[in-house]
Amino acid sequence: MTSTDWGRVNFGSDGLVPVVAQDAITGRVLMVAYANAEALALALATHQGVYWSRSRQEIWIKGATSGHTQKLVEALLDCDGDAVLYRVEQTGPACHTGAQSCFDPTPTDGEAA
């Protein structure tokens, strides 16, 4: 992991910081999620994609249920301290829709995927 001053993280008023997950090999953006201080600390300690689920209000380890895991290769903090980049090795699709990336085009009615 890159040496980063994680004390510089500027968590929002909700206690969260946005996290962009990027494929460490291709550079493709896979997904955007959020982390609180506990999720970020767990990600750094375990080298896994760990986030805060805003809908469930709990720690979310990517792939714990689906098996579509993220091995955290590198974590970076942006210049303002208000966004985090996880460079990951993704196993299986990253998106809950089954797409490799949450930024893949989604089929419209009548179109094939």
In a domain, 2, yes or no: no
Distance CA 90, CA 38 (A): 22
In a domain, 70, yes or no: yes
Distance CA 43, CA 56 (A): 18
Task: Give the residue numbers spanning the domain of 46.
Answer: 15-90
Query: Is the pLDDT reported for residue 113 higher than 50?
Result: no
DSSP state of 107: P
In a domain, 71, yes or no: yes
In a domain, 24, yes or no: yes
Please state the φ and ψ torsions of residue 20, each to the nearest 5 degrees.
Answer: -100, 125
Q: Model confidence over 23-55: pLDDT tens digits?
A: 999 999 999 999 999 999 999 999 999 999 999
Instruction: State how many domains the chain has.
Output: 1
In a domain, 109, yes or no: no
3-state secondary structure of 7: helix
* Residue in this structure with the two tokens 């098996």, named with its chain if needed: 67
Considering only 3-12, 13-22, 32-41, 48-57, which range has the smallest mean pLDDT? 3-12
What was the pLDDT predicted at 18?
Answer: 98
In a domain, 36, yes or no: yes
Q: The domain that contains 84 carries what CATH number?
A: 3.10.20.810
In a domain, 106, yes or no: no
Per-residue H/E/C for 29-72: EEEEEEECHHHHHHHHHHCECEEEECCCCEEEECCCCCCCCEEE
In a domain, 50, yes or no: yes
- Write the CA distances from 95 to 14, 17, 47, 73, integer angstroms: 24, 19, 20, 19
